[in-house]
Structure 1
Amino acid sequence: MRLGEFILRDMDSILAQWEAFAATLLPAAENLKSLELRNDAQHILEAVVKDLGTPQTRKAQAEKSMGRGPKLIGAPATAAQTHAVLRARNGFNINQLAAEYRALRASVLRLWIDECDPTAPDLDDMIRFNEAIDQALAESVGYYSAHVEQARNLFLGMLGHDMRSPLQAIQMTAVYLSALNNGEKISEAARRLINSGSRMQALLDDMLDFNRANLGLGIAIAPGSVDLAKQFAEELDLLRAAHPDHRVDLEVVGDSTGVWDGRRLQQLLGNLVLNAFRYGASDRPVRVVLRGMAAEVCFEVKNSGPIIEPCTLDRIFDPLNRGVENEHNYAAESHLGLGLYIAREIAEAHGGTLQARSDVTETVFSVRLPRSR
């Protein structure tokens, strides 16, 4: 008997074995009913049977076995994709999802081989069946991963948004206590609250920006007429006050006005300078050079220090990527490793670019911004 005919004839017994195995995947399956445990199993098997009856070239079969089967634009989700989303919503992890396909493959082949005995099973059917299961598994894993990632990003975005209000209340109370000037101990405690609140606010802002970018929303900007020289001077004054042990110089050449989001570009500059503080030579100044040209403005943040190896430079803008910490630099927990990633996102939101280069002389981060979009 051919495998497709066998699957259709013995569908009930195959689904019963699927259900029995799915019921063992605890704790997710603990409270699920029979139909929920079977989920889209019948539709997956029917798709496999249809695939077995469809003529295919060897090349097409090989592509499908690697999860690269043909995809129709605008086609509805496959049964395997729908199954993955429902399993994710019911709390199954990705290992349990993959285990279902392994168990399905084993049970179908075992039942079919027993049915064929003593006649040898059709080898082409067996190969085609394995390829079809591999394709279904690839579709399920892809949809599962995308669903979980989006759910996580939405959760983090809501969490970050909801945390802002109590954090602002703490900061405002600390500022009020500091203004009372009611004894040195209270003022010192208030300053610690203010500094800690500012660090938490920066981490929270980075997390929210990262989430926006991951959800495909990009970095939000509000462009207006800006003089970058003035904006950068203000930002560097704040950085000097917060990091008195570091020196940073600003050089401006040409016209630095344009249409940008000034606050975001201050954030971009601040991220680059803080990165230079962390990883550059602490006894050498960080230099910011701002140049205005006809159609664009570019600025560079330069620091002396250890050379960045090419393999590190290739992934330096990757999110959640930190350099090697130095014992004299800031604690790793004070940042999320998102600074350079967010800096690049801000530059791209303005239609610009951010690039890095490093040699034995210096490390340079270069930003190019069109004057308007």
Structure 2
Amino acid sequence: MSAELFDSAACALAVTAEDGTILQANSRFSEWLGFSTTELCGKRFQDLLTMGGRIFHQTHLAPMLRMRGSVTEVKLDMLHREGHKLTVLLNGIKREQDDGTLYDLALFGTTDRDKYERELLNARNFAEALLQEKTATELALKLAQAELSEAYAISQRRALFAEQMVAIVSHDLKNPLTAIRMASDFLNRGERTAKEHQLLGHIGQSSERAQRMIADLLDFTQARVGQGITIKAAPLDLHEVIHRAVDELRVAFPAANLVHLAEGSGEACLDADRVQQIIGNLVANSVAYGDLQRPITVTSRLGQGRCEVSVHNHGKVIPEALLTELFEPMTRGTDQGSDVRSVGLGLYIVRELARVHGGDVAVSSCATGGTMFTVNFQPT
């Protein structure tokens, strides 16, 4: 190698004798260690190493060069003239000459390589931390899902138990309520004072309202726990069934002005008792929430592929957000008090009865037009 190429090489180069004495060094070697090339020549290479580097040179590096004739990428710590440490990678080769053995050394700085290795290590540590976090998160999610499933199963069992208890209690309440009503009717037939007739009337109305609540509870539990609400459909005159239902409801709700309108003609195949129950629940709802100073209109429609009944009242507008949930159990259109309000199952029962007849129920409510519930049945 020419002197110019040796001196201008991109790495630090040195030639040493077999004992480590530096015979030749280039400018890069000189710059890295802070010595002039003149100062370097005559120094032993191992004397420029840290204490650990000298021990490694004596026990490993020098023996390997002698026996194998070369070393590659040996990491060493050298000392700068001012005392700070410089880490290098050393490649060395043994060269035999007539006048003795020489060692050609090439040293490469590790600053960029160390930085790259640190970045790789940091990236690996970060990736491992993310993996551990992901694993922990997945485990926590599985535990949360298991707890949620268990809580859901418990809530389902509790809900089923509660509904079954409601069904049992509701069924058992029917007999004493029937006895109360029969007793009040019997007592009302005899000679009574005006006050006694009034009290007996209150007893009769209260027992009738309680029976309606119990009927709704029994239908609710049948729909949710049992096999669903059952019907016994038979041919009937829809207008006549609604007319009878309205007449009975006028007695149950004397403060309300009930009007029946009939449109069209023809027969339908429905369960008469269940149709009357639908009208009863819708009228009770209108009495509870409507304006009793204005009529509650019950309309039955038949013909031209239609078979439906509707109940209309004038009252406060049902909020838009509540319309979609109105037919769910325990949902009410307002918080106002009412003596005729039931347990919040009436509209749910109406929907279930409409569906078991092959139809459905809809509601509309606005300030000018009032509120209308429309139940359509599958036409015969």
The equivalent position to 1:335 in structure 2, one of 313, 333, 342, is: 342
SS in 2 for 1:288: strand
Higher relative contact order (CA 8 A, sep 6+): 1
Alpha-carbon contact 1:317-1:340 (below 8 Å) kept: yes
1:356 has 2:366 as partner: no
Cα 1:284/1:141, change in 2 over 3 Å: same
Structure-1 separation of matches of 2:375 and 2:358: 11
Cα 1:195/1:359, change in 2 over 3 Å: closer
Q: CA deviation at 1:347?
A: 0.7
Q: CA deviation at 1:158?
A: 0.8
The equivalent position to 1:143 in structure 2, one of 139, 149, 153, is: 153
The equivalent position to 2:373 in structure 1, one of 361, 365, 369, is: 365
1:347 has 2:354 as partner: yes
Cα offsets for 1:222-246 (capped at 9, x unmatched): 2222211111111111222233332
Cα 1:296/1:211, change in 2 over 3 Å: same
Question: Match for residue 173 of structure 1?
Answer: 183
Cα offsets for 1:142-190 (capped at 9, x unmatched): 2111111111111111111111112212222222222233555554443
TM-score (norm 1): 0.61
Structure-1 separation of matches of 2:154 and 2:274: 35
Alpha-carbon contact 1:317-1:341 (below 8 Å) kept: yes
Structure-2 separation of matches of 1:256 and 1:273: 24
The equivalent position to 2:293 in structure 1, one of 262, 283, 299, is: 283
Question: Match for residue 44 of structure 1?
Answer: none
Q: CA deviation at 1:354?
A: 0.4
Question: Match for residue 300 of structure 1?
Answer: 310
Cα offsets for 1:281-304 (capped at 9, x unmatched): 322212222211244412222223
Alpha-carbon contact 1:260-1:371 (below 8 Å) kept: no
Cα offsets for 1:112-161 (capped at 9, x unmatched): xxxxxxxx995565344323312321221121111111111111111111
Structure-2 separation of matches of 1:124 and 1:317: 44
The structure that is strand-richer by fraction is 2
Cα 1:297/1:205, change in 2 over 3 Å: same
Question: Match for residue 257 of structure 1?
Answer: 267
Cα 1:256/1:250, change in 2 over 3 Å: farther
Structure-1 separation of matches of 2:215 and 2:233: 19
Structure-1 separation of matches of 2:134 and 2:258: 70
The equivalent position to 2:139 in structure 1, one of 129, 133, 140, is: 129
Cα 1:172/1:268, change in 2 over 3 Å: same
Alpha-carbon contact 1:256-1:290 (below 8 Å) kept: no
Alpha-carbon contact 1:307-1:358 (below 8 Å) kept: yes
Cα 1:345/1:126, change in 2 over 3 Å: same
SS in 2 for 1:220: coil
Question: Match for residue 281 of structure 2?
Answer: 271
Cα 1:177/1:343, change in 2 over 3 Å: same
TM-score (norm 2): 0.60
**Count of matched residue positions in the alignment of Structure 1 and Structure 2:** 250
Alpha-carbon contact 2:216-2:345 (below 8 Å) kept: yes
Counterparts of 1:37-48 in structure 2, within 5 Å, are: none
Structure-2 separation of matches of 1:306 and 1:125: 55
Cα 1:271/1:256, change in 2 over 3 Å: farther
Cα RMSD of the aligned pairs, angstroms, is 2.4
The structure that is helix-richer by fraction is 1
Structure-1 separation of matches of 2:342 and 2:298: 22
Q: CA deviation at 1:316?
A: 1.6
> Percent identity between the aligned chains?
30
5+ unaligned residues in a row in structure 2: which ranges?
1-128
Structure-2 separation of matches of 1:263 and 1:256: 19
1:311 has 2:321 as partner: yes
Structure-1 separation of matches of 2:319 and 2:192: 52
Q: CA deviation at 1:326?
A: 4.7
Structure-2 separation of matches of 1:225 and 1:349: 16
Counterparts of 1:55-134 in structure 2, within 5 Å, are: 125-134=135-144
Cα offsets for 1:252-298 (capped at 9, x unmatched): 12124211111111111121122222222322212222211244412
SS in 2 for 1:219: coil
Alpha-carbon contact 1:227-1:256 (below 8 Å) kept: yes
SS in 1 for 2:377: strand
Cα 1:276/1:124, change in 2 over 3 Å: closer
